[in-house]
């Protein structure tokens, strides 16, 4: 494990991330990039953007709590060091998405009430399942939940949002590209670290699979209700994207797809990612019941 961990040192993180793809950015985007006027002037689109960003803040808060909480139970200094970089990555994500809420007109005094109002209850439960494992000191389940399930979901959601924002909102797309680069590193750590540990502790498999099934249920329910809630803004969004060119996400044109099609392509992409990544660490994806 030591050789593999040499790719996840603080030194490498400093060179890759703050001194690399984040150099010359402010809050993750170019200093001159701003939110497009339409998001600030159209109530439906602004509300939709706030609702979407609140889910990102909630997800990143969970990731911050999980990655920092896993440091103590990590079995070696190399893993603790990597989790330290992930902790700061997640804190940065909390910060930049919180800043986006401010950019969209949310007042700092209203931040928590805005999050409480818009956060999807299934996303809260999704985070709760993960944090229960982290808080009980279960390192293996915690890393699977955090670096495979949560990060796998975040990675796909960010990619879809980035594809849909590239033309409409270069500032948000730029912000997302930085987070995608971070998440890719986190997922890699999870796969490399946990495969060996699961082979050493096969008795942990059923418990981890139960956790994954429950997290996948809440994730798919979050997608379902989020796409339904955003329906009123979708038409305006789609028209704007359409005017500015197609936005492809895994073969689906986001400028013409229905909300059902968008939900389906996102869910299929994330589940496909789960199947691939779980198989790499010796686990089989467990589909949730009743979704």
Partner 1 sequence: MTDDIFDPHDLHPDDFLEEVHSFEFWFQSVDGYLSDRPHGRLAASNDVPIEGAGREALITTLCNYCVGETAALEGAGGMISIAPNRHSKIFLATQVVDEARHLEVFLYRLRELGVVDTEAEIARRANPNLLRFKDRLLELVRTADWAGALFAQNVVLETMEAIAFDAHAQVADPITAQILDGVIKDERRHLGFGENDLGRLLQDDPDTRVRLGAIRQELDALVLAAFDGALADTGSVREDQPTLGRDYLATIDRLGLV
Pick out residues in 23-62 that bind partner 1 (CB under 8 A): 26-27
Residue 179 makes contact with partner 1 by CB under 8 A:
no
Residue 186 makes contact with partner 1 by CB under 8 A:
no
- Contact indicator for 168, 237 with CB cutoff of 8 Å: yes
Residue 72 makes contact with partner 1 by CB under 8 A:
yes
Q: Which of 88, 78, 220 is nearest to 149 (CA)?
A: 220
Residue 87 makes contact with partner 1 by CB under 8 A:
yes
Among 54, 64, 157, 234, binds partner 1 (CB under 8 A): 64
Report the nearest approach of partner 1 to the CB of residue 51 (Å). 20
Residue 71 makes contact with partner 1 by CB under 8 A:
yes
Residue 251 makes contact with partner 1 by CB under 8 A:
no
Q: Rounded to the nearest 5°, which phi and psi values hold at 126?
A: -55, -45
Burial level of 205, CB count in 10 A (0-12/13-18/19+)? middle
Residue 68 makes contact with partner 1 by CB under 8 A:
yes
Pick out residues in 108-167 that bind partner 1 (CB under 8 A): 108, 135
Interface contacts to partner 1, rule CB under 8 A: 9-11, 13-14, 18-19, 22, 26-27, 64-65, 68-69, 71-72, 76-77, 80-81, 83-85, 87-88, 90-92, 94-95, 98, 108, 135
């Amino acid at each position: 494990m030591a050789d593999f961990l040499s790719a996840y040192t603080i030194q490498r993180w400093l060179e890759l991330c703050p001194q690399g793809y984040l150099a010359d950015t402010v809050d993750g985007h170019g200093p001159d990039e701003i939110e497009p006027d339409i998001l600030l002037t159209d109530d439906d689109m602004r509300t939709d953007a706030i609702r979407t960003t609140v889910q990102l803040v909630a997800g990143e808060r969970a990731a911050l709590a999980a990655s920092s909480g896993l440091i103590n139970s990590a079995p070696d200094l190399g893993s603790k060091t990597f989790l330290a970089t992930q902790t700061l990555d997640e804190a940065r994500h909390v910060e930049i998405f919180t800043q986006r809420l401010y950019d969209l007109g949310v007042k700092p005094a209203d931040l928590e009430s805005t999050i409480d109002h818009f956060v999807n209850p299934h996303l809260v439960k999704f985070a709760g399942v993960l944090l229960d494992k982290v808080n009980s000191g279960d390192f293996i389940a915690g890393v699977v939940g955090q670096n495979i399930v949560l990060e796998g979901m975040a990675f796909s959601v960010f990619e879809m949002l980035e594809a849909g924002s590239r033309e409409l909102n270069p500032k948000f797309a730029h912000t997302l590209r930085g987070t995608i680069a971070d998440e890719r590193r986190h997922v890699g750590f999870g796969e490399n670290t946990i495969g060996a540990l699961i082979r050493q502790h096969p008795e942990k498999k059923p418990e981890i699979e139960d956790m994954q099934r429950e997290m996948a249920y809440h994730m798919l329910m979050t997608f379902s209700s989020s796409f339904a809630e955003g329906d009123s803004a979708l038409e305006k969004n789609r028209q704007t994207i359409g005017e500015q060119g197609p936005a492809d996400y895994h073969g689906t044109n986001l400028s013409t797809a229905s909300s059902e099609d968008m939900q389906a392509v996102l869910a299929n992409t994330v589940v496909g990612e789960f199947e691939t990544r779980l198989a790499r660490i010796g686990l089989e994806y467990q589909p949730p019941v009743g979704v």
